[in-house]
Structure 1
Amino acid sequence: MHEETTFQNGVESNMPQWSDYTTGERIKVLRGRDVRQSDLAEMTGLSVVTIQKAEQDKQLSLPTLLKIADALGVDTSVILGQQAPRRAMEHDDRSMMRALSQAVHDTAAGILPTTIEDVTETGMRTAVDRCWDLYWAGDYMQAGVLCGPLIAQASVHLRERSVGEQAEGWSLLSDAHRLAAYVANLMGARDLAYAAIGHAQAAAERSADELLPALVSSGRSWVYLRDARLPEALSLAEKAALDIEPQFSTATPERLTVYGSHINFAAVVASRMGDKDRAGDFLSQSHATGARMGQEHKAHGTSFGPVTATTQAVGINIALGQTAKAIALVNDIRDVSQLTQAARNRYAMDKALAQADAKLWDASLDTLEEALTRAPQWARHQALPGVIVQKIGRASTARLRRVSQLIGVRPGVDGFPPATNKTAL
């Protein structure tokens, strides 16, 4: 269902805060490795000398500050250290998020591009499915890039239909907004996630798809989870699952897929709350659903099956402090090829964390390094690699430098071990 780890990051660190850096250092960090000073000068219309002076804290006028903030896609408060940037957000990420936010809010206000022509429902469904495929491949940037135009296209498609022919259009628009909410939630843009999931809910209620409202409710539960609203997240996740609970003897694969992913997510939330009994009950239902399905299945922008049920149980047991159970599951899992790429990446992180908790340091580093090498862009948006590195770092440092380089984070900014001094920025 949602791209989510099942570990709550409570690791303490003595890393410097965002406000500890100078304004010039913050500009340099936000510019990142891919944008040179000359590139930023071109983006802002300023001279390279002006950019250099700003980064050296020699000179920064208000007009210059505003131009740099606009080019980097951040609020001026971030450059001035009054607000921290979102973890792992690079310039392209911020540009994508700005465009996605504009699409969500403009279309909700009825402001639609005049250059978009209507397409058929088949064409729209193909586009929606393509975006979900990108999301489940772990390519959140490209999914987000396409999601903005998708929302606008779905809105135009809906507008061109008569009232009696809009049911599928509302379904398409709900899917587009739900995808926007998922991308925003992963990127830490909580306000945008709330707005998008709200629009998705309104559209779902006007569609003819009986599963869609529950899917959106579960998506809202995920936003609650990342916003640390755990009791509300659990209540909503449980209700969403119960609303579509199937009769196993007659349920379609589509309904079992949606139900299984819902009940599994309820187990995730319960584990975050430390509720072993409820998490265990939900896990039992998750495994029973997976067993009934027999294989992985995709439906409505989500996927589920017996392999998903088992691999997700690893992270759930870690969150409950049941390391031995998590390791036992890891040892029994042989083939994860049926999972989506994002799900395989997520399982690798849970596996590496279980191995670290069990003090299997070398095995944990092997698992982590393999996952980071396979999916470096996906890893940029995950907190768990840094958590694992910090755990292993307490006992071993022999191979950590190479793994830390694979994580590719900015010291002291993204939630990972900082450099020894600020000049390393």
Structure 2
Amino acid sequence: MIPEERREFGAQIAGLRKQRGMTQEELAAAIGRTSSWLSQVERGVQPVNRLDVLRRLADGLGVSLQNLRPDVPSVASASESEADDEIANDLDQARLVISGHPAPDVLLSPPSSPQAINIDDLRAAVENVWDLTHASRYADLSTVIGPLVPRLERAARTAPESEQSDVWLLLSRTYQALSAAFVRQDEPDAAWLAADRAISSAERSGEALHVFASIFRLVQAFVRLKHLDQGEHAAATAVSALRQHISDATARPEALSILGSMHLALALVYARSGNRTGAREEIKKAGEVAARLGEDRNDFNLEFGPTNTQIQAVSIAVELGDAGEAIDIGQGITSDDLSVERRARLAMDLGRAYAQRRQSGEALAYLLDAESLAPELIHTHVEARNAIRELILIAGRSASPELRALAERADAQP
């Protein structure tokens, strides 16, 4: 039995859509969903609980969020705990920050003399940005990014010449974090823009390796956009340049971290394109670089090393449909010293692997573990939500309350 409130909400959506003269296909395309999903919403079959999805619907229909759902409180009027629940996974503020020129006032009215800055304060703020990114606290990240990016952009253009290189580097690192967050929140168009700005800022800082770290973020955006040819080109040209730069006898650990990460990025590109041989070869090369590095490091916030290479091997095996191999590798990994995001990613991929093998109990346990570590990652990651839907379909009416609750939280009902 479909709840009456869902029927009424669906009828409201259908009515507003028809008033605008839109077909289901047109509205679905405008909000990044399928027409079958929208059809289920309009019939009351599919609930819509997540704030970001409600906002997309409202924007697509040309109405306010409160007009669509009067019971949804504004952030200003909600209690702190309610606001945290409502704005979770929301990077809207961060998207606004990268829209348009970041410091137009400086272009029109440049200061007559260099402006003093507190470089230590800026450096601490950027470290906080990466802490939030690694912890998958994207709503908090969006709030912090709002004032920080314009502040850094202005400082890069107005600081004393002796400090401009440092500020450009901090700006690049901030855009790198933002690109990583956008990728994980499945907003690859914004990730592309942030990565491109990271590349430009890194080059202006004079730190060449940070350019390559930014290219890594760009490749991740290309993969999410399914622009696999662009992803392959960006990663392969970077690997070629790094290979020429790195001596066989000696190499900076930071350069090895980037080289190994680029091989992992290429492995993902090849896995997504169905090139099993290429994917496995790149994982092998990444493993060789990790062995040469000899330890887990976090250069450029890439967390590259032997452990992360194994975690990526699990992910690649899942992408290739080799669930048994993914499980064998994953169960031998000790990831306690890595970030919350990396640990959550491993649990998520093991959940996906068990879902591929239709071992629902194990799949649910790992997905719940991942959710306990980084709820925003599980609630917004496309493949995680697909795995949850698959588990619901496998279980049918016998789906456990825990599974149904997880599907509800992730908006992942079939």
TM-score by length of 1: 0.72
1:312-391 matched pairs, under 5 angstroms:
312-333=312-333, 335-391=334-390
Q: Is the Cα contact below 8 Å between 1:373 and 1:406 reproduced in 2? A: no
How far did 1:270 drift?
1.0
Question: Matches of 1:124 and 1:239 in 2, distance apart?
Answer: 33
Q: State how many pairs are aligned.
A: 358
Task: Tell me the equivalent position of 1:281.
Answer: 281
The higher-RCO structure (CA 8 Å, 6+ apart) is 1
Tell me: CA distance 1:189–1:361, structure 2 relative to 1, closer, same or farther (3 Å): closer
1:57-76 matched pairs, under 5 angstroms:
65=64, 68=67
User: Aligned with 2:303: secondary structure?
Assistant: strand
Q: Is the Cα contact below 8 Å between 1:181 and 1:197 reproduced in 2? A: yes
Task: Tell me the equivalent position of 2:208.
Answer: 210
Gaps in structure 2 of 5+ consecutive residues: 1-32, 75-83, 110-114
How far did 1:417 drift?
1.9
Tell me: CA distance 1:21–1:386, structure 2 relative to 1, closer, same or farther (3 Å): closer
- Output one character per residue of 1:155-200: Cα deviation in whole Å (capped at 9) or x when no partner: 2321332446422221111222222233333334444333322222
Question: Matches of 1:14 and 1:386 in 2, distance apart?
Answer: 15
Tell me: CA distance 1:327–1:261, structure 2 relative to 1, closer, same or farther (3 Å): same
Q: Is the Cα contact below 8 Å between 1:307 and 1:338 reproduced in 2? A: no
Tell me: CA distance 1:400–1:269, structure 2 relative to 1, closer, same or farther (3 Å): farther
Task: Tell me the equivalent position of 1:305.
Answer: 305
Tell me: CA distance 1:104–1:393, structure 2 relative to 1, closer, same or farther (3 Å): closer
Amino acid at match of 1:313: A
How far did 1:395 drift?
4.0
Task: Give the RMSD, CA atoms, in angstroms.
Answer: 3.8
How far did 1:309 drift?
0.5
Amino acid at match of 1:98: D
Question: Matches of 2:393 and 2:189 in 1, distance apart?
Answer: 36
Identity %: 22
Question: Matches of 1:390 and 1:63 in 2, distance apart?
Answer: 30
How far did 1:248 drift?
5.5
Task: Tell me the equivalent position of 1:6.
Answer: none
How far did 1:67 drift?
7.2
Amino acid at match of 2:327: I
Task: Tell me the equivalent position of 1:184.
Answer: 182
- Output one character per residue of 1:99-144: Cα deviation in whole Å (capped at 9) or x when no partner: 22332235535247x9xx9543232222212211211112122222
Tell me: CA distance 1:139–1:328, structure 2 relative to 1, closer, same or farther (3 Å): same
Q: Is the Cα contact below 8 Å between 2:116 and 2:159 reproduced in 1? A: no
Task: Tell me the equivalent position of 1:296.
Answer: 296
1:5-20 matched pairs, under 5 angstroms:
16-18=36-38
How far did 1:281 drift?
1.7
Amino acid at match of 2:142: G
Please identify, of 148-157 and 387-396, the stretch whose mean Cα deviation from structure 2 is larger. 387-396
Q: In proportion to residue count, which structure has more helix? A: 2
Tell me: CA distance 1:123–1:404, structure 2 relative to 1, closer, same or farther (3 Å): same
Question: Matches of 1:354 and 1:106 in 2, distance apart?
Answer: 41
1:191-270 matched pairs, under 5 angstroms:
191-245=189-243, 246-247=246-247, 249-270=249-270
Question: Matches of 1:287 and 1:228 in 2, distance apart?
Answer: 25
Q: Is the Cα contact below 8 Å between 1:154 and 1:173 reproduced in 2? A: yes
Amino acid at match of 2:377: W
Task: Tell me the equivalent position of 1:97.
Answer: 91
Tell me: CA distance 1:173–1:23, structure 2 relative to 1, closer, same or farther (3 Å): farther
Tell me: CA distance 1:98–1:111, structure 2 relative to 1, closer, same or farther (3 Å): farther
Q: Is the Cα contact below 8 Å between 2:317 and 2:326 reproduced in 1? A: yes
Amino acid at match of 1:315: S
How far did 1:19 drift?
5.6
Equivalent residue in structure 1 for 2:104, among 93, 103, 110: 110
TM-score by length of 2: 0.74
Gaps in structure 1 of 5+ consecutive residues: 1-12, 41-54, 56-61, 75-88, 419-425
User: Aligned with 2:298: secondary structure?
Assistant: strand
Tell me: CA distance 1:259–1:126, structure 2 relative to 1, closer, same or farther (3 Å): farther
Question: Matches of 1:64 and 1:269 in 2, distance apart?
Answer: 39
User: Aligned with 1:337: secondary structure?
Assistant: coil
